[in-house]
Amino acid sequence: MVQKAERVAAPQISRRLPGNAGLPAQPGRTGRPGRPVGNVTRGTTNPNRMRRVDRWLTGPQGWRLRAAEDPLVVDLGYGATPATAVELFDRLRAARHDVRVCGIEIEPERVRAAKHLERPGLTFHVGGFEIPVAGKPVLVRAFNVLRQYEEADVAGIWRLVQGRLAPGGLFIDGTCDEIGRRVTWIALDAERPLSLSISVRFGSFDLPSEVAERLPKALIHRNVPGEPVHRLMQAMDRAWLESAALAAFGNRQRWHAMCKALLDAGWPVQDGPSRWRLGELTVGWEAVAPLPHQGP
């Protein structure tokens, strides 16, 4: 059962990080010792929903897993069924055969239901953003999890998870539609956000900006005039419309032209044509980072 949303205030989460014991207490949720940090989510999930982000983790980011001293990966908040955690394990084994994937859910019944799928390298645990597993993960994937929190809570949740990462580790905070046709994610290392990625199925949209309804929590409310992410959405639409003549050759060519136009216009587009052909676009975080809220 989904519990009533409970605030997970950033100051409280920060107090729980190593080295932050001296921070003053703040009003808000403190959490009890041993209690997982977070709230029970709706748990909606579908098989193959995460294929696009998994393809990115084994592609441009595959070096992180291959270079890791301990190939520990966490699927944080996998949902009502463990299908996406099992898929993550199978896909990452192609990059590193000794990978260990830990599925973490705050709802004990979901963990009990997944236990029969455990095997060497794949386990399931009760927990939350504190990530109660031994060792430091090199990859943490949290999809459609932070979407259900307040925007003000995101920074603190990020810091808590970032504090658990291994050297060279990556935290993925993402959102997607029900069957994984429109997907976005923010990648963070232990210090800061690095990038925003957008991945779409060709034929699932008229304008690229339609993916905005699936932006992660840190950005979804910032898709308004004046905010950097809104400028990106508008620039994508302009470049897409200006490439309409290429539609005769297929949407793959049109998306490639859109990405190239953004790069030529000065957007910090990462990766390259091999990723663009997949309906993917990654830009540096500095291009979309939310503007600071102005006081009254």
Distance CA 135, CA 85 (A): 19
pLDDT for residue 40? 84
Average pLDDT over residues 82-107: 96
Burial of 119 (0-12, 13-18, 19+ CB in 10 A): exposed
For the entire predicted model, the pTM comes to 0.88
How is domain 10-219+268-287 classified at the architecture level of CATH? 3-Layer(aba) Sandwich (3.40)
Calculate ∠ Cα 162-168-171, nearest 5°. 35
Mean per-residue pLDDT, 32-52: 81
The residue-averaged pLDDT of 61-67 equals 97
Q: What is the pLDDT of residue 17?
A: 35
What are the extents of the domains in the chain?
10-219+268-287
pLDDT, tens digit (0-9, with 9 covering 90-100), for 187-244: 999 999 999 999 999 999 999 999 999 999 999 999 999 999 999 999 999 999 999 9
The pLDDT-based confidence of 15 (bands split at 50, 70, 90) is very low
pLDDT of residue 18: 34
Give the Cα separation of 80 and 46 in Å (integer): 9
**pLDDT at residue 41 is higher than 70:** yes
Q: How many residues does the chain have?
A: 296
Strand partners of residue 143: 174
Q: Locate tokens 């790069």: which residue?
A: 263
Which residues on neighbouring strands pair with residue 195, listed in sequence order?
187, 284
Across the chain, what does the average pLDDT equal?
89
- Residue 12 reports pLDDT greater than 80: no
